[in-house]
Chain A
């Protein structure tokens, strides 16, 4: 069990800077998810923690120990790889026992630990099989079992669910979450899937270009995104953005169309020198009766999801999506009036993308 402290870490490959200057504190027992698009540096950061990539400059602490030069083998961490990386020539049992044998553990203790982990992951029946005789889901469990038996200070997961089908992914996601609650070990999980991040994490690190965009709880990242990138990355379908200017008392869109503004938003826009990017999540649009202060839109596409329905439309030539009650039975071509919930509207600086108060 250990906290992880990343202090001013820089990672360069030749002239390419992948992580410019990153500091992060991960508390003991915390389940932290690194999330971001491809190439954002999340896997590099995980591999730095694992000791598989050297740090160009800065410091890394696991527990109280500075581990900059400490090889992966001596960091007391366990890692689950994207392709599981099981040893193909060893039986499942030996895959799990291997690290314990290297530590010189006694046979009975190795056996007890392997069987305990196998029971926890429901893989007792496969202990004598080779990895090639297992399905993707079973291999994934063995990879987790190999990590669990070690009882390490820190668990690292590098996109371990990305090779599973959707149903299995949801199942394993729940299992990892419950495992983290049972094991009470510091866990760092890398994914590009924001649903995985939201559902599993105690805290989310949203990364872009090797820079931490936001580090907070899933609720805070969703409710109060630090900037337009985070707002757009977290949430599905993605948040709708409308660049606007305040002209008089109305919001003016890029194409010159106007929309009425409520007093609070008008005040926020005013304090932002009269321009900004308005952000509204699809679920924060309300369908209101005609004549109310809603924005009239024409439905271009309807996506029924069962639990709710997505409607696609345009506001001032900007494509947008709203999540509505399926009982409304919206139809393509129909005109509806939408009103964003006033307290759920986000306003971002048009130049920097930062959230405006």
Chain B
């Protein structure tokens, strides 16, 4: 026989169709956003949409002129790095402890917290943070975003830790290691790509999280994504500036993901195949 069997070639074709469809669904709104950000304001909402236009930076200029964009970006960066750092700080030992003890309920609890709607936390937090005078502080935002990052870190790292043969930890015990030292000296270096994935996903999810920042921040601590909401007004939404803001907001996660793409794939498939 020569060539691949018919069924296999059909499966390959279907795969390609699926990928094209998925790519189309993801890329069209993104392309729309990026193109609109470079359109003159009257063309942004034109119908039918124009594909040929003379690009302009007018939306970006307006964005920078009318909003303290960079201070919002700094706010976003502080909150995102803070919450991702907090997630890693507590998530790494927590994932290791769950893997080590095989007691999984704490991990399931964090997952449940992640799956619960944000509004569930928001009201009690708002009351609590207001009582201690922390509304509008970075601390309140970082702590609230840790609810997003902590489960990500735990659940990305858990299979990575589980994948390390137990005998390696036992060898370290026999060699004289305490459990803490096993985590830092043996386990952590072996889950490097997992940590990278957890860090990136934490960064992206925290960066993009809208609800907590909207309610718990104030004018000084507003994050980019909450600030972008300012452009949506009743009947007078500035679509061009909004698209420019959205494009700039989407850039850091995209750049991060493309830099560490190879790690990301390796890390996401960790634990998927035994051995």
Chain A residues in contact with chain B, CB under 8 A?
50-52, 71-75, 77-79, 81-83, 85-89, 98-99, 102-103, 146, 150
Q: Which 5 A-B pairs have the closest CB atoms?
A: A85-B167, A99-B175, A85-B171, A72-B173, A102-B176
10 contacts between A and B (CB under 8 A): A50-B170, A73-B178, A78-B174, A83-B165, A87-B171, A87-B186, A98-B185, A102-B175, A102-B181, A103-B176
> By the criterion CB–CB under 8 Å, are A85 and B189 in contact?
no
In the assembly, what is the distance between CA of A98 and CA of B165, in Å? 18
| Least Cβ–Cβ distance between B179 and chain A, in angstroms | 9
Residue of chain B at shortest CB distance from A50: B174
| Least Cβ–Cβ distance between A101 and chain B, in angstroms | 9
Count of A-B contacts judged by CB separation below 8 Å: 58
> By the criterion CB–CB under 8 Å, are B168 and A85 in contact?
yes
| Least Cβ–Cβ distance between B41 and chain A, in angstroms | 55
The residue among A81, A103, A150 with the most chain B CB atoms within 10 A of its own CB is: A81
* B171 cross-chain contacts in A, Cβ below 8 A: 79, 81, 85-87, 146
In the assembly, what is the distance between CA of A83 and CA of B168, in Å? 9
In the assembly, what is the distance between CA of A82 and CA of B190, in Å? 20
Residues of B174-197 at the interface with A, using a CB-CB cut-off of 8 Å, are 174-178, 181, 185-186, 189-190
> By the criterion CB–CB under 8 Å, are B170 and A72 in contact?
yes
Chain B residues in contact with chain A, CB under 8 A?
165, 167-168, 170-178, 181, 185-186, 189-190
| Least Cβ–Cβ distance between A144 and chain B, in angstroms | 12
18 extra A-B contacts, CB within 8 A, seeds A79-B170, A102-B176: A50-B170, A71-B173, A72-B173, A73-B177, A74-B176, A75-B174, A79-B171, A81-B170, A82-B167, A85-B168, A85-B170, A85-B171, A86-B168, A87-B186, A88-B168, A88-B190, A98-B172, A102-B181
> By the criterion CB–CB under 8 Å, are A85 and B173 in contact?
no
B165, B176, B181: the one contacting A85 at CB < 8 Å is B165
Residue of chain B at shortest CB distance from A74: B176
In the assembly, what is the distance between CA of A85 and CA of B174, in Å? 11
* A51 cross-chain contacts in B, Cβ below 8 A: 173-174
* B181 cross-chain contacts in A, Cβ below 8 A: 102
> By the criterion CB–CB under 8 Å, are B167 and A81 in contact?
yes
In the assembly, what is the distance between CA of A71 and CA of B170, in Å? 11
In the assembly, what is the distance between CA of A74 and CA of B185, in Å? 18
> By the criterion CB–CB under 8 Å, are B176 and A52 in contact?
no
> By the criterion CB–CB under 8 Å, are B186 and A52 in contact?
no
* A81 cross-chain contacts in B, Cβ below 8 A: 167, 170-171
* A103 cross-chain contacts in B, Cβ below 8 A: 176
In the assembly, what is the distance between CA of A82 and CA of B166, in Å? 12
* A52 cross-chain contacts in B, Cβ below 8 A: 170, 173-174
In the assembly, what is the distance between CA of A194 and CA of B254, in Å? 60
| Least Cβ–Cβ distance between A96 and chain B, in angstroms | 10
* A85 cross-chain contacts in B, Cβ below 8 A: 165, 167-168, 170-171
| Least Cβ–Cβ distance between A95 and chain B, in angstroms | 9
| Least Cβ–Cβ distance between B101 and chain A, in angstroms | 14
Residue of chain A at shortest CB distance from B188: A89
| Least Cβ–Cβ distance between B259 and chain A, in angstroms | 23
* B178 cross-chain contacts in A, Cβ below 8 A: 73
| Least Cβ–Cβ distance between A70 and chain B, in angstroms | 12
A82, A83, A88, A98: the one contacting B175 at CB < 8 Å is A98
Residue of chain A at shortest CB distance from B164: A88
In the assembly, what is the distance between CA of A40 and CA of B123, in Å? 59
In the assembly, what is the distance between CA of A87 and CA of B169, in Å? 9
The residue among B165, B167, B178, B185 with the most chain A CB atoms within 10 A of its own CB is: B167
* B165 cross-chain contacts in A, Cβ below 8 A: 83, 85
In the assembly, what is the distance between CA of A2 and CA of B189, in Å? 35
* B174 cross-chain contacts in A, Cβ below 8 A: 50-52, 72-73, 75, 77-79
| Least Cβ–Cβ distance between B271 and chain A, in angstroms | 16
In the assembly, what is the distance between CA of A43 and CA of B143, in Å? 47
> By the criterion CB–CB under 8 Å, are A102 and B177 in contact?
yes
> By the criterion CB–CB under 8 Å, are A89 and B173 in contact?
no
B170, B177, B189: the one contacting A89 at CB < 8 Å is B189
In the assembly, what is the distance between CA of A103 and CA of B175, in Å? 9
The residue among B171, B173, B190 with the most chain A CB atoms within 10 A of its own CB is: B171
In the assembly, what is the distance between CA of A74 and CA of B173, in Å? 9
* A87 cross-chain contacts in B, Cβ below 8 A: 168, 171-172, 186
* A102 cross-chain contacts in B, Cβ below 8 A: 175-177, 181
| Least Cβ–Cβ distance between A82 and chain B, in angstroms | 7
> By the criterion CB–CB under 8 Å, are B173 and A83 in contact?
no
In the assembly, what is the distance between CA of A79 and CA of B176, in Å? 12
Residue of chain B at shortest CB distance from A150: B175
* B175 cross-chain contacts in A, Cβ below 8 A: 73, 98-99, 102, 146, 150
Q: A99 and B170 in contact (CB under 8 A), knowing A87-B186, A89-B189, A89-B190?
A: no
> By the criterion CB–CB under 8 Å, are A73 and B167 in contact?
no
In the assembly, what is the distance between CA of A99 and CA of B172, in Å? 8
In the assembly, what is the distance between CA of A77 and CA of B173, in Å? 10
* B177 cross-chain contacts in A, Cβ below 8 A: 73, 102
